[in-house]
Chain A
Amino acid sequence: MLGAWWQDTVKTYRGNAIFVRDFRSQMRGWKPMWFWLGYLGLILLVVGSFYGGIMRRGTIDIAELQSILVGLFVGFSTLLSYLVLLVAPALTAISIVQEFDRKSIDLVQSAPVSARYLLVGRLLSAYRYVWILLMLALPFAAVGILMGGFTWPQLLATFFGISLQGLLVASLGLVTGVMTRKIVPAVIQAYAAFVVVGIFTGILSAMAAAMAFGRGGGGAPGFGFWGVLTPGVTQWAVLGTTPLGNWQAPNLLLATVTTLFASRLMMLGAASAIAPTLTPDIGRLRANSLVAALLFGLMGAFLVASLPGGMRGGGISPAMIMGNTFNTLIGFGAITVVNYLACWSFIGERKYQTNGLWNIKMLFKGTPASVLPFLTALMLVATLGFVGGVFLSSGRVSPELLLYIPWGWGINFFLVGLCWWASLLSTGNLPGARRLGGLFFILVMIIFSAVIGIITRGEGNAAAWAWHPVLGAYGEQQYGPGVLGHGLILWALGGILLFTAERKRRKIIRASYE
């Protein structure tokens, strides 16, 4: 078993045929040349006008020059970030959709390679492309170094950070590529997913920066490792550290580990979604996800707990900060969503649930009977990790924090109900069920936000926003249903959805016997 896994892993990363093939077609003909010329032209335009400006100034003192060059560096690396974020997910999403479009997917999958092999090949191809783009840009940046604005370690670390962003969004592209059969929606979904992740990391970075600021003039702003993955902030964060308990962990290291882990999860999710039959990928995905959930829970708690106490004033209790972090992690953390989408299998089995609704023996199988047990295990582990992290870092767990747990779980329960309906409504069509599930979720979120938006007529009405099932967590708790109330509402809604879906399912089965 382990031997087979090892063999597969070696085969996947050494001389991956897809990696080789993609290179041949990426380099062929004039198209790539034109693309790169355009790319270089754009960079030249930006950088050239900068250097040109400096030249025209004639005399300039060193300090001023250096600050200008730092500005250039920031602008330049932000530009590169965005270019990479634009190109990388499109590369993977398009290549996967094309594979289905040409139906060559069947040929690849009838060969003795795992779904992972195919996806890793694609991912590495995209990553290589990201580095080609970065290397093409290197000479322009190097001029700035020669003029003394910034240093090689700064530049290379930043490039590495940008490449991590590329890897992360490329793996997002894989997931969206397997969810749809059309190129444009796949790419748009990848961008949209990235925007969501970006908002999430952006909020975290901003929080970290604000807290560091609140500490009182501690010199350079202390960006957390999320900053490495946030365009425009990368260059500030790459050489910094993030306190993990008592350890000042290098941001680049944390970002690398996080990226590798997240992209592995997304890749496994995509792999189990395209695998034609039940494969070990699903088992691995689920095992990996449980570990990820534990780690994310622990790390989240440690990170937030070790932030300086700047935010503790102003009516915001540590329990509330922790509670909101918990909600973000458990409630709509990408781990859950990705796994959730990969949970569904067996076309007939999903509709008829022949293995029942709750089969814990199938915890590591992709059957619908194990969806609920698996999700429950996932949340349990993440919650344990988080609460454990809070306890380990601060020595106590505030009872107020525990109130957030039903809320975070409730969001998931609600999602399960929605997806249950989605799978019933898209009879026997797996991608359809996934899309519908996702659509329902987005619709519900939009409807909630829209209703609240209409009620408040665009004015900052804390009382209304406090009712929002997700964003309400950031509101002031004297309004709205309160922490526990939110949890109860979501559980009730989820329960109604599950109950009605289950009744509908039984009706369908009964009808099919008649």
Chain B
Amino acid sequence: MLEVLNLHKNYGSFTAVTDVSFTLEPGDVFGFIGSNGAGKTTTIKMLATLLEPTHGTARLDGFDITEHPLEVRKRIGYMPDFFGLYDDVKVWEYLDYFSALYSVPVKDRPGVIDNVLELTDLTFKRDAMVASLSRGMQQRLCLARCLVHDPTLLLLDEPASGLDPRARAELKELLAELGRMGKIILVSSHILPELADFCNKVGIIERGNMLAFGGVDEIARGLKSIKVLEFRVMDRASELSMWLHGKPNIQNTYLMGATTVKVDFDGSHENQVELVRAIVNAGYPVMEVREEGVDLEDVFLNVTQGALN
């Protein structure tokens, strides 16, 4: 289990990460989303014990990142937003090197290396020089490196950036597989759709503040004024628009033409039922009520816009 407790980082007088807290359980695939400069890398580096928090801390399986960094390091696989590959060694030598750094016993190393190569689909490149690999393969090799010591937590900083769609799809599949293996996976990205379909938890960070955290649906539901209801009437749309204005749970109303009104609605499902009933009772010729699908993209834009305003 990873507990992040008020993690905070100042660079001089500039605050890069402000009191971030969240908890992740084994099996969680956590999408850590924020635009460039939001503080994702800073947070991840603190979790990877590469940066001292100004205050606050995090615990992985009970080990504190500031008090027991070496214990924490044994349990994490960190993949930075650059490769950091040694280009003067072969693929298996590279993995052998990191197995040794992670104290994998000498006799187990060949087996471990074969396993992670298998998992990342690189078996056929075992004896190739690292420099000769394609970008996607180098990415997978980096991931393989993170796996040699069977970590409980994977910290992946923008792993999908710079990959072609195919390599990206393969990466997603691999991460989903690792999630099923019971690891905690933290994946950061500044592009939301990249993560939407395989994360079960999402956190949105902007200007160092964690604006939202939770299950994907939970966030969508918990957020106010993001549901858009569309009413199609036979006529009197502008009258309906006036009528709706100021009713409970209605944030904004938009007249979309002669027959359509849209509203930003922040009530519960019960409120929604009541609203529709009231409209009908008031005698408006409602033909159709449609709830616009909420996707993560909207959530993201909505949340971050709130922070920027």
Chain A interface residues (CB < 8 Å from chain B): 11, 15, 17-18, 20-21, 24-25, 28, 102-114, 276-279, 346-348, 351, 427-428, 512
Q: Taking CB as reference atom, which chain B residue is nearest A109?
A: B50
Known: A15-B106, A17-B98, A104-B85. 9 other contacts (CB 8 A): A25-B88, A105-B84, A106-B48, A106-B50, A107-B98, A107-B145, A110-B73, A346-B52, A348-B54
Q: Which 9 A-B pairs have the closest CB atoms?
A: A17-B100, A110-B78, A112-B73, A111-B101, A104-B84, A25-B88, A428-B12, A277-B52, A103-B84
A320 to chain B, nearest CB (A): 48
Of A21, A103, A108, A112, chain B has the most CB atoms within 10 Å of the CB of: A112
B84 contacts which of A25, A102, A348 (Cβ < 8 Å)? A102
A35 to chain B, nearest CB (A): 15
Contact of B49 with A by CB under 8 A: yes
Q: Say yes or no: A20 contacts B50, CB within 8 Å.
A: no
**What is the bound-complex CA distance between A200 and B67, given in angstroms?**
42
Q: Say yes or no: A25 contacts B12, CB within 8 Å.
A: no
**What is the bound-complex CA distance between A110 and B145, given in angstroms?**
12
**What is the bound-complex CA distance between A17 and B86, given in angstroms?**
14
Q: Say yes or no: B52 contacts A276, CB within 8 Å.
A: yes
Q: Say yes or no: B89 contacts A107, CB within 8 Å.
A: no
* CB interface residues, B 103-120, toward A, < 8 Å: 103, 106
**What is the bound-complex CA distance between A428 and B70, given in angstroms?**
26
Q: Say yes or no: B86 contacts A512, CB within 8 Å.
A: no
A348 contacts which of B10, B48, B86, B103 (Cβ < 8 Å)? B10
Q: Taking CB as reference atom, which chain A residue is nearest B74?
A: A112
A107 contacts which of B13, B51, B84, B100 (Cβ < 8 Å)? B84
B49 contacts which of A20, A107, A277, A427 (Cβ < 8 Å)? A277
**What is the bound-complex CA distance between A494 and B265, given in angstroms?**
68
Q: Say yes or no: A104 contacts B106, CB within 8 Å.
A: no
A347 contacts which of B11, B74, B84, B85 (Cβ < 8 Å)? B11
Contact with A along B51-84 (1 / 0, CB 8 A): 1101000000000001001110110101010101
Q: Taking CB as reference atom, which chain A residue is nearest B148?
A: A111
A277 contacts which of B66, B76, B82, B98 (Cβ < 8 Å)? B66
* CB interface residues, B 222-263, toward A, < 8 Å: none
A108 contacts which of B74, B88, B101 (Cβ < 8 Å)? B101
Q: Known: A104-B85, A346-B52. Is A20-B74 also a contact (CB below 8 A)?
A: no
Q: Known: A15-B106, A112-B73, A112-B102. Is A21-B89 also a contact (CB below 8 A)?
A: yes
Q: Say yes or no: B97 contacts A277, CB within 8 Å.
A: no
Which B residues touch A104, using CB under 8 A?
84-86
Which B residues touch A108, using CB under 8 A?
101
Of A15, A108, A276, chain B has the most CB atoms within 10 Å of the CB of: A276
Which A residues touch B145, using CB under 8 A?
107
Of B49, B76, B101, B102, chain A has the most CB atoms within 10 Å of the CB of: B101
A395 to chain B, nearest CB (A): 50
A348 to chain B, nearest CB (A): 6
Q: Say yes or no: A112 contacts B12, CB within 8 Å.
A: no
Q: Say yes or no: A106 contacts B88, CB within 8 Å.
A: no
Q: Say yes or no: A512 contacts B97, CB within 8 Å.
A: no
| A–B pairs, 17, beta carbons within 8 Å | A17-B100, A17-B101, A18-B97, A21-B93, A102-B84, A106-B50, A107-B78, A110-B48, A110-B50, A110-B76, A111-B102, A112-B71, A276-B52, A277-B51, A277-B52, A279-B69, A348-B54
**What is the bound-complex CA distance between A112 and B75, given in angstroms?**
9
**What is the bound-complex CA distance between A473 and B164, given in angstroms?**
68
**What is the bound-complex CA distance between A20 and B99, given in angstroms?**
12
Q: Known: A15-B106, A104-B85, A111-B73. Is A276-B12 also a contact (CB below 8 A)?
A: no
Which A residues touch B93, using CB under 8 A?
21, 24
Which A residues touch B76, using CB under 8 A?
110
Q: Taking CB as reference atom, which chain A residue is nearest B66?
A: A277
A278 contacts which of B52, B82, B89, B102 (Cβ < 8 Å)? B52
**What is the bound-complex CA distance between A252 and B87, given in angstroms?**
40
A428 contacts which of B11, B80, B97, B102 (Cβ < 8 Å)? B11
**What is the bound-complex CA distance between A24 and B66, given in angstroms?**
35
B155 to chain A, nearest CB (A): 8
Which B residues touch A25, using CB under 8 A?
86, 88-89
* CB interface residues, B 122-145, toward A, < 8 Å: 145
Q: Say yes or no: B52 contacts A106, CB within 8 Å.
A: no
B97 contacts which of A17, A105, A114 (Cβ < 8 Å)? A17
B224 to chain A, nearest CB (A): 36
Q: Known: A110-B48, A276-B52. Is A28-B88 also a contact (CB below 8 A)?
A: yes
Q: Say yes or no: A427 contacts B73, CB within 8 Å.
A: no
**What is the bound-complex CA distance between A17 and B95, given in angstroms?**
11
Q: Say yes or no: B78 contacts A427, CB within 8 Å.
A: no
Q: Known: A106-B50, A277-B52, A348-B54. Is A11-B84 also a contact (CB below 8 A)?
A: no
Q: Say yes or no: A348 contacts B51, CB within 8 Å.
A: no
Which A residues touch B50, using CB under 8 A?
106, 109-110, 276-277
Q: Say yes or no: A427 contacts B12, CB within 8 Å.
A: yes
Q: Say yes or no: A102 contacts B86, CB within 8 Å.
A: yes
**What is the bound-complex CA distance between A21 and B89, given in angstroms?**
8
Which A residues touch B49, using CB under 8 A?
109-110, 276-277
Q: Taking CB as reference atom, which chain A residue is nearest B10?
A: A348
Which B residues touch A276, using CB under 8 A?
49-52
B210 to chain A, nearest CB (A): 22
B179 to chain A, nearest CB (A): 21
Which A residues touch B78, using CB under 8 A?
106-107, 110
Q: Taking CB as reference atom, which chain B residue is nearest A351?
A: B12
Which B residues touch A347, using CB under 8 A?
11-12
Which A residues touch B54, using CB under 8 A?
348
Contact with A along B142-180 (1 / 0, CB 8 A): 000100000000000000000000000000000000000
Q: Taking CB as reference atom, which chain B residue is nearest A278?
A: B52
A20 contacts which of B45, B84, B100 (Cβ < 8 Å)? B100
